[in-house]
Amino acid sequence: MDREELAPHVEEVARVLGNNADKEEILKELETYLNHYRVTLDWAKRNIVKKKGGDPNALQGGGGRKTVAELTGSEQSVDILVKVLTVNPKTIEVGGAQKSIVYGLVADETGKVPYTIWETEAVQLKEGDTVIIHNAYTKEYKGAPQLNLGNRASVEESEEVLDVAGMPSGGGSKEVKVSELADGMNFVIISGKITKLESKEVVASGEKKNIITGVLTDETGSVEFTVWGESKLAEGMEVRLVGAYVKSWRGMPKLNLGDRVEVQVLTDGTLGDVSSGTPKVRTLEDVELSGGGMDIMIRGTIVDIREGSGLVMRCPDCKRVLQKSTCRVHGKVKGTDDLRIKAILDDGTSSMNVVFGKDLTERLMGLTMEQAVKLTMEERNPELIMEMAEEKLFAQTLEVRGMVRSDDFGPMMIAKEANIFERNVRDEGAKMLTDMEGFN
């Protein structure tokens, strides 16, 4: 869609968000969603409104309407425009009595979802029809949403005919890279190497069960995944996954491999050496849209060194930072020294909080923790190290790599690598001045 076609949709989103909405920014985000993430227009509009704190149901035709990719598994009443792919009648036993149900698959251009009709007298579906299902509800089954048509559900024939024929067997449309994964994506096709795999026992609805978690890596980054059910995966294996879906967990997009995912084992070496690669540099706007990730590289400028940077004391029991020698949980304790920098990094597209731990802080500052403690005592200034960090790092451009999680305050990185990417302009100026003075 070009800008002209998008204009009325930008207007609509701006109207829902109120008068001070930035239309240029809405247009940019719409374009990113549509061209980069290839989601539907509906989904993109809803997500932008949601992200900016508006009510997506205020969008036209938005009253409870969702796309397949938007289903969370906890909708109590949802309307959805879908094409009916399969219809299978089945008799089940409920409390000793026979009951007829119908199950199958429906799809829109964002993905497929299994459905069950519980009241077959009231609602019928026909293969190949495009319909609007009203008042369905969803439940999560093995980590994936399922659509249920109960006694409140109704079906309306749609004039719009959905073309979902282009979807390969697992749905979705094009193969994506790890750096492109975003919360809510459904029927994802992705290739990568299993760089970590472990089996965990969890308790789900009072039952103990084994789940398998791991890490999938490609040349753009790594993502955690969970397998719900049987698995033929092994560490070091190169695979192509068809039909996985993405859900944020603890502030990071995570890949879920449900029952319907197809695992294609690739010949070793197909993907090249992915595990030793460094992720490509991404923009903060892009990271914000995707919600974070376990291994992200950003190049940006430090625009603020935050309060709480420098030398801090931690509780020996829980590692919380002490305020006036007092732990929020353990009271007055004898703290242990730690060194950190909390900074705001800006790359021109957006900004993000970054935390540098002791080792990185030592390296960036060119100062050991012992030296920091000694200096602080000598100068009798508890904020000395923070002031030095400001002096040294403010306006520097850094390349940082680490884990990014998102919460209500936006994305935050725990850095595991950091390199000063280019010299500060101020330093360059100072150096030039010295050179000239020396010359004189």
Residue whose CB is less far from Zn ion, 59 or 315 = 315
Gyration radius of the chain's alpha carbons: 26
Distance in Å, CB of 342 to Zn ion, minimum: 20
* Bridge partner residues of 337 (DSSP): 313
- Based on CB atoms, which residue is closest to Zn ion, 174 or 334? 334
> Do the Cβ atoms of 195 and 275 come closer than 8 Å?
yes
Smallest distance from the beta carbon of 338 to Zn ion, in angstroms?
Answer: 13
How far apart are CB 370 and Zn ion at their closest, in Å? 24
Cβ nearer to Zn ion, comparing 320 with 358: 320
Do residues 82 and 130 touch, judged by C-beta distance below 8 A?
yes
Q: Which is nearer to Zn ion, 278 or 323 (CB)?
A: 323
Q: Which neighbouring-strand residues pair with 207?
A: 204
Site for Zn ion in 112-131 (CB under 5 A): none
Tell me how many residues contact Zn ion (CB under 5 A): 7
Shortest Å distance, C-beta 356 to Zn ion: 22
Closer CB to Zn ion, residue 319 or residue 431? 319
Q: Token match 């731990």: residue?
A: 357
- How many angstroms separate the CA atoms of 248 and 38, rounded? 19
State the nearest-atom distance from the C-beta of 350 to Zn ion, in Å.
34
Task: Return phi, psi of residue 85, to 5°.
Answer: -95, -45
Nearer to Zn ion, 321 or 344 (CB): 321
Minimum distance, C-beta of residue 319 to Zn ion, in the bound complex (Å):
7
User: Measured from the CB of residue 326, what is the shortest distance to Zn ion in angstroms?
Assistant: 9
Residue with CB nearest Zn ion? 315
Our CB check for Zn ion shows the closer of 169 and 336 to be 336
Three-class secondary structure assignment of 240-301: EEEEEEEEEECCEEEEEECCCCEEEEECCCCCCCCCCCCCCEECHHHHHHHCCEEEEEEEEE
> Is 51 or 330 the residue whose CB approaches Zn ion more closely?
330
CB–CB of 82/40 below 8 Å?
Answer: no
What is the closest distance, in whole angstroms, from the C-beta atom of residue 339 to Zn ion in the complex? Answer: 19
Distances (CA, A) of 367 to 7, 84, 370, 373, 424: 54, 65, 8, 10, 19
Helix (DSSP H) and strand (DSSP E) numbers for the chain: 8, 24
- DSSP-derived 3-state class of residue 218: strand
Distances from the Cα of 110 to the Cα of 103, 128, 406, angstroms: 20, 17, 24
Q: Which of residues 381-400 bind Zn ion (CB under 5 A)?
A: none
| Cα 183 to the center of its chain, rounded Å | 5
Q: Binding string, 298-327, against Zn ion, x = CB under 5 A?
A: -----------------x-xx-x------x
In angstroms, the Cα distances linking 363 to 261, 404, 428 are 44, 21, 21
Q: How far is the CB of 382 from Zn ion (least distance, A)?
A: 20
Q: What are the residues facing 175 on neighbouring strands?
A: 189
**Closer CB to Zn ion, residue 3 or residue 330?**
330
Sequence-ordered list of residues with C-beta below 8 angstroms from that of 195, at least 6 positions apart, any chain = 214, 215, 216, 217, 222, 235, 236, 275
Site string for Zn ion, 327-366 (x = CB under 5 A): x-xx------------------------------------
The footprint of Zn ion (CB under 5 A) covers: 315, 317-318, 320, 327, 329-330
